[in-house]
Chain A
Amino acid sequence: DTGVSQDPRHKITKRGQNVTFRCDPISEHNRLYWYRQTLGQGPEFLTYFQNEAQLEKSRLLSDRFSAERPKGSFSTLEIQRTEQGDSAMYLCASSLNGGLLDTEAFFGQGTRLTVV
């Protein structure tokens, strides 16, 4: 098992374009989280899934953002009509069932998005 995998690692896009990122969690991890990290800040929670169900969404996740986990395995995060303020590192994490108090969330290396 190679850990949480995110693709692509880097993405440069023009303002107004749509982008999609993929996260492959550790196999058998049924919880999957998305965070966003801007320069000089800590990661900010965006959303999380238990299997295919999206259980919580942050108010940071505007209507332009959508996340899916169709079969309870990999997840995608799509940003429509990108804005310069969307430039950030997008982090994915996964954990076994049981919550963060009982288990550990393992983070991927992230996808760095630059909107020009």
Chain B
Amino acid sequence: AQSVTQLGSHVSVSEGALVLLRCNYSSSVPPYLFWYVQYPNQGLQLLLKYTSAATLVKGINGFEAEFKKSETSFHLTKPSAHMSDAAEYFCAVSDLGNEKLTFGTGTRLTIIP
């Protein structure tokens, strides 16, 4: 069965510092991986997705993620945190032909002024 593990339920970074949110996947088939963001009182919004094209995926709001098969990881990064990045971030996995997303437990990102 597919699953993702997000290390760190809470992450705090200073404004302007690097953001690194960790996601490791477990899948018996080539996975398709997603990062979603959830702002307070809003629905989940897709940040980026990996579908076996380029291993470095660029998303919205300056975020990017790199698929590393050897490490079974798909960590989310942003070079410089902004106050508006404060939100909850979810990593998710799916596989070809499967419309079901399996989400991780989420990481709440806090930005320190």
Q: Which residues of A contact B (CB under 8 A)?
A: 3-4, 31, 33, 35, 40-45, 48, 55-56, 58, 91, 93, 99-101, 104-110
Q: Is the CB of B103 within 8 A of A43?
A: yes
Q: Is the CB of B32 within 8 A of A101?
A: yes
For this complex, 16 residue pairs linking A to B, each with C-beta atoms less than 8 Å apart, are A3-B43, A41-B105, A43-B90, A43-B101, A44-B103, A48-B99, A48-B100, A99-B99, A100-B32, A100-B34, A100-B49, A100-B94, A100-B101, A101-B51, A104-B46, A109-B43
Interface residues of B in 78-111 (CB under 8 A from A): 90, 92, 94, 96-97, 99-106
Which of A44, A48, A101, A107: most chain B CB closer than 10 A? A101
List the B residue with the shortest CB-CB distance to A45: B100
Tell me which residues across on chain B come within 8 A of A41, comparing CB atoms.
105-106
Interface of A is mostly: loop
Count B interface residues, CB 8 Å: 25
Contact A4:B43 (CB < 8 A) given known A100-B32, A101-B32: yes
B99 touches which of A3, A42, A56, A104 (Cβ 8 Å): A56
| Count of inter-chain pairs, beta carbons less than 8 A | 60
Tell me which residues across on chain B come within 8 A of A35, comparing CB atoms.
101
Q: Is the CB of A91 within 8 A of B43?
A: yes
List the B residue with the shortest CB-CB distance to A102: B51
Q: Is the CB of B99 within 8 A of A55?
A: yes
A107 touches which of B32, B44, B94, B104 (Cβ 8 Å): B44
Closest Cβ of chain A: how far from B77's Cβ, in Å? Answer: 20
Additional 6 contacts, C-beta under 8 A, given A42-B106, A100-B99, A107-B36: A4-B43, A31-B99, A40-B105, A41-B106, A42-B90, A100-B49
Contact of B61 with A by CB under 8 A: no
Q: Is the CB of A110 within 8 A of B99?
A: no
Which of B94, B103, B105: most chain A CB closer than 10 A? B103
Query: For the complex, what is the distance from the CA of A113 to the CA of B44, rounded to whole Å?
Result: 18
List the A residue with the shortest CB-CB distance to B52: A101
Q: Is the CB of A109 within 8 A of B41?
A: yes
